[in-house]
Amino acid sequence: MRPLSDEERAVLSALTEDFVSATVVKVRSGLPRGQRNETVLAACMGLAQRGLAERVGSGLRSTLRWRKAQGGFAPERERHLHGTRNREEAP
């Protein structure tokens, strides 16, 4: 599995336990205001495929809402997703 992109990391840090629109996620993540929401939606979908984000709503972009996945994940998974390792794990 590839490490998270810069946009995915920014979006993941912007997600909370409350469902919000892609526009709110974009503002919280610090992504440029002029950037289209498709970038945020793609990042959210990628995070959802990894089990790191959840969505509600229909397939229409205007009604989708996103939040951080409930339950958290293990630190070793987080290191893998961010492309980092402990020194003990180095090959």
- Each residue's pLDDT expressed in tens, for the chain with a length of 91 residues: 789 999 999 999 999 999 999 999 999 999 988 888 899 999 999 999 999 999 999 776 678 999 999 975 544 344 445 454 444 444 4
**What pLDDT shows up at residue 90?**
43
Q: Under 8 Å CB-to-CB from 34, ≥6 apart: which residues?
A: none
> How far, in Å, CA of 20 to CA of 17, rounded?
9
Identify the CA nearest to 21 among candidates 57, 74, 48. 57
CB distance 36 to 26 below 8 Å: no
**Ramachandran angles phi, psi of 2, nearest 5°:** -75, 155
**6-89 has CATH 1.10.10.10 classification:** yes
